[in-house]
Amino acid sequence: MKVLVTGAAGFIGYHLARRLAEGARCEVLGVDNMSPYYDVGLKQARLDEIERLETFRFVKADFCDAEAFAGIVSHFHPDYIAHLGAQPGVRYSLANPAACVRANLQGFANVLEACRKTPPKHLVYASSSSVYGAGAKPPFREDDATGQPTSVYGATKKSNELMAHAYARAYGLKATGLRFFTVYGPWGRPDMAPTLFAQAICAEQPVPLFNEGRNQRDFTYVDDIVDGIVRALLYPFPSGSASQPASRVLNLGHHRPVETLEFVRVLAGLLGRKARLELLPPQPGDMTETCADLTRVNAALGFIPKVPLEEGLRRFVDWFKSYYKC
């Protein structure tokens, strides 16, 4: 079984490619442009880990290059495609909307076109809880209104869902979008809260908490996310009939929101340090609470998150201390 994973040097992409190549014994082709959005050294370190596996190969390429990416897909001819590459960052998208639009809209259009020309059995792509936006009331359900995104990033991810639906209708593509909820764990991105908080705590610097730390997030451990991706990837559904949607979107979260104040408290305890808190007003584009309703994904895939916050943070801290020598 052949699987192409975009964003393979990224946080979730690395974990997925490793699971598929190591556990499922799939032939995995990883694609990543090694963007300098954050430390390329961390991306290379992830690749160094996974390139030891015989069933994994890597190609440095940018899916924003339509011709090059279509050529890769045509040559490899994957059974399944997991499109996890993107320009991430809710706050980054507000300051750099053009970068977000290029990767997440034009880039995603290129992925869909490549799938149209060389159809896989199933395309699974990363959406986001950011699509729920203003007016959403937790727990968020997939059929809730998603027409008021609070960030450019959220708007591009909602657009991805609409684009995939249109391609499914027009060309029979089987596509599943997964709305990820605040993923954390080992090898996490340095621009995400767990690493930023841990670095500040270790350096005895203030930990900035927007909305005075009262924001609640549905923190979901990366192994649970990967479990959901694999289940979705390998179990496509009939599409295009009158009784089935042309595509689907599913939440992948933990369904147990935690205040960021509590998150920092647990993290500091595991680090054996004391956190210096800097309580700040709300940040533009932020949502005050996220919580995934898992009814649909449980029915479709039997997905149930298994890793509690304390255990997930313990594993993250073990990796953080080893990697950052803290």
Q: What is the 3-state secondary structure (H, E, C) of 201-232?
A: HHCCCEEEEHHHHCCEECCEEHHHHHHHHHHH
Using alpha carbons, select from 171, 176, 68 the residue that is nearest to residue 122: 176
38, 80, 153, 167: the active-site residue = 153
Is residue 66 exposed (0-12), middle (13-18) or buried (19+ Cβ within 10 Å)? middle
Report how far residue 325's alpha carbon sits from residue 290's, in angstroms, rounded to the nearest whole number.
Answer: 32
Whether 167 sits among the annotated catalytic residues: the reply is: no
Q: What is the DSSP letter of 319?
A: H
And the tokens for 73?
Answer: 């897909």
Q: CA–CA distance from 258 to each of 82, 150, 262, 265, 311 (Å)?
A: 29, 21, 7, 11, 14
Q: How far is CA 307 from the centre of its chain?
A: 17
And the tokens for 37?
Answer: 């959005």
Report how far residue 264's alpha carbon sits from residue 275's, in angstroms, rounded to the nearest whole number.
Answer: 7
Q: CA–CA distance from 148 to each of 130, 154, 156, 161 (Å)?
A: 10, 9, 12, 15
Active site residues: 153
